[in-house]
Amino acid sequence: MEYVKLGNTGLDVSRLCLGCMGFGDASLGFHQWVLDEENSRPVIQKALELGINFFDTANVYAGGTSEEILGRALKDYANRDEIVIATKVFSRMHEGPNGSGLSRKAIMSEMDKSLKRLGTDYVDLYQIHRWDEHTPIEETMEALHDIVKAGKARYIGASVMSAWQFQKALYVAEKNGWTRFVSMQNHYNLIYREEEREMLPLCQAEQIGVIPFSPLASGRLTRDWDETTYRSETDQVQKAKYDATASTDRLVVERVAEIAEKHGVPRVQIALAWLLQRDPVTAPIIGATKISHLQNAVDAISITLTSDEIASLEEPYVPHPLYGSTLGFK
Residue 217, SS3 per DSSP = helix
Kindly state whether residue 305 falls inside one of the protein's structural domains.
yes
Q: Is the pLDDT of residue 153 over 90?
A: yes
* 301 within 8 A of 274, measured Cβ to Cβ: no
Q: What is the mean pLDDT of residues 50-62?
A: 97
Residue type, 56: D
Q: What local confidence, expressed as pLDDT, does residue 244 receive? A: 60
Contact assessment for residue 58 and residue 23, using Cβ atoms and an 8 Å cutoff? no
**In this structure, is residue 45 part of a structural domain?**
yes
pTM of the prediction?
0.92
pLDDT of residue 325: 44
Rounded to a whole number of angstroms, the CA Rg of the chain reads 19
Q: What's the whole-number mean pLDDT along residues 29-41?
A: 90
The enclosing domain of 104 has a CATH number of 3.20.20.100
pLDDT in tens, 239-263: 556 656 677 799 999 999 999 999 9
Between the CA of residue 86 and those of 70, 124, 191, what are the distances in Å? 11, 6, 26
- Note whether 300 and 228 are within 8 A (CB): no
Quote the pLDDT of residue 328: 43
Assigned domain for 322 exists: no
Provide the pLDDT for residue 321. 84
High-pLDDT (> 70) share of the chain, %: 91
70 pLDDT higher than 80: yes
Segment 43-59 mean pLDDT: 98
> What tens digit of pLDDT does each residue of 263-304 get?
999 999 999 999 999 999 999 999 999 999 999 999 999 999
Q: Of how many residues is the chain composed?
A: 330
Q: Is residue 327 part of a domain?
A: no
234 against 151, higher pLDDT: 151
Helix axes 137-149, 163-176, angle to 10 degrees: 60
User: Is 184 domain-assigned?
Assistant: yes
How many domains, in total, are found in the chain? 1
Say how far apart CA 156 and CA 89 lie, in whole Å: 11
pLDDT tens string 162-171: 999 999 999 9
Mean pLDDT for the stretch of residues 136-160: 98
Interval 170-209: pLDDT, tens: 999 999 999 999 999 999 999 999 999 999 999 999 999 9
326 lies in some domain: no
Q: Residues 6 or more apart from 158 whose CB is under 8 A from it?
A: 127, 128, 166, 169, 181, 183, 184, 185
Residue range 71-82, pLDDT digits in tens: 999 999 999 999
Residue 324 domain-assigned (yes or no): no
The answer to the question of residue 159 being in a domain is yes
* pLDDT cut 90: percent of the chain above it: 85
Write out pLDDT tens, residues 81-120.
Answer: 999 999 999 999 999 999 999 999 999 999 999 999 999 9
pLDDT band at residue 324 under the 50/70/90 scheme: low
Q: Is 61 a catalytic residue?
A: yes
Q: Which domain holds residue 227?
A: 3-316
Report strand pairing: 12-14 vs 17-19: unpaired
| DSSP annotation of 325 | G
Selecting among 3, 61, 171, 242, the annotated active-site residue is: 61
